[in-house]
Structure 1
Amino acid sequence: MSLLTFVARYNSLRRIHSPQQENTTMNNSDLADKLGAEAGVTKVDAKKAVDAIFAAIAEAATAGEEISLNGFGKFKVKDSAAREGRNPSTGETIQIAASKKLTFAPAKAIKDRLNA
């Protein structure tokens, strides 16, 4: 076995067994499945509820409102001013337009759970 083959096999095995490489992303479907199981509703109804919650948050943010969820955190719309930047491939100076960003600040209870 050549050194390159050994290194490739070692790296692929390390990725499979590494706890840092586990899929730790929860998507809308996963969230709906968990909600359905905990609330005792069908997955279809849970998916509708999850979609409705995110739609309401997006609608409120679009209107410039702050969304405060007790014990979870706050979503806020922040303005980002126009600024000068650089194109990384050419180094040319470019103008970056002003924009709005949605930020999230976790509640103290969530911060405490993360850092327990």
Structure 2
Amino acid sequence: MTKKSVKAPAKSAKPATKAAPAAKAAPKAEASKVAKSQLVEMVADKTGLTKKQSDEAVSAALEVILEAIKGGQSVGLPGLGTLSVKATAARTGVKPGTSEKIQIPAGKKVAFKVATTLKATL
């Protein structure tokens, strides 16, 4: 029993050290992400609208963008880029672990092309 309890912390210590850099990387990624609530606050600050009005405006804009994409239309966002729907062809894939060949059906995906002005400033 004692050896098992000694081995268990050693095993968990190794993943903990491996997870520690990932844990440090995750907050940095989260810190650079702008949530909807933060976006609403930024819009309110820039426009002088109340937070409630800004929330309604942001929500309405997102709904319109989603409806257009679901309808198969492209959405151009000046200075940001273009969202569009692309068709994917049916293809043969390999199941990980078993190396079994499987058929992946055709489908659709959302593609984003960054605006050249934004790409130049990054």
For Structure 1 versus Structure 2, the TM-score category normalised by the shorter chain is: 0.7 to 0.9
**Larger proportion of helix:** 2
**Alignment partner, residue 58 of structure 2:** 50
Q: Which one-letter code corresponds to 2:45 in the other structure? A: A
| Whole-Å separation in 2 of the counterparts to 1:40 and 1:32 | 11
> Quick one: which amino acid aligns to residue 86 of structure 2?
K
Partner Cα distance (1:64, 1:35) in 2? 28
* Percentage of pairs with the same residue: 33
* 1:97-108 alignment, distance < 5 Å: 97-108=105-116
Tell which structure's C-alpha radius of gyration is larger.
Answer: 2
Q: CA RMSD in A?
A: 2.3
For residues 32 and 71 of structure 2, the distance between their equivalents in structure 1, rounded to whole angstroms, comes to 32
Segments of 4+ moved more than 3 angstroms: none
State which of 57, 60, 72 in structure 2 corresponds to 1:64: 72
Q: Partners of 2:42 and 2:64 in 1: how far apart?
A: 20
CA-CA distance at 1:21 after TM superposition = 4.8
The whole-number CA distance in structure 1 between the counterparts of 2:61 and 2:27 is 30
TM-score, scaled to structure 2: 0.72
List runs of 5+ in structure 1 lacking aligned partners. Answer: none
TM-score of the aligned structures, taking structure 1 as reference length: 0.76
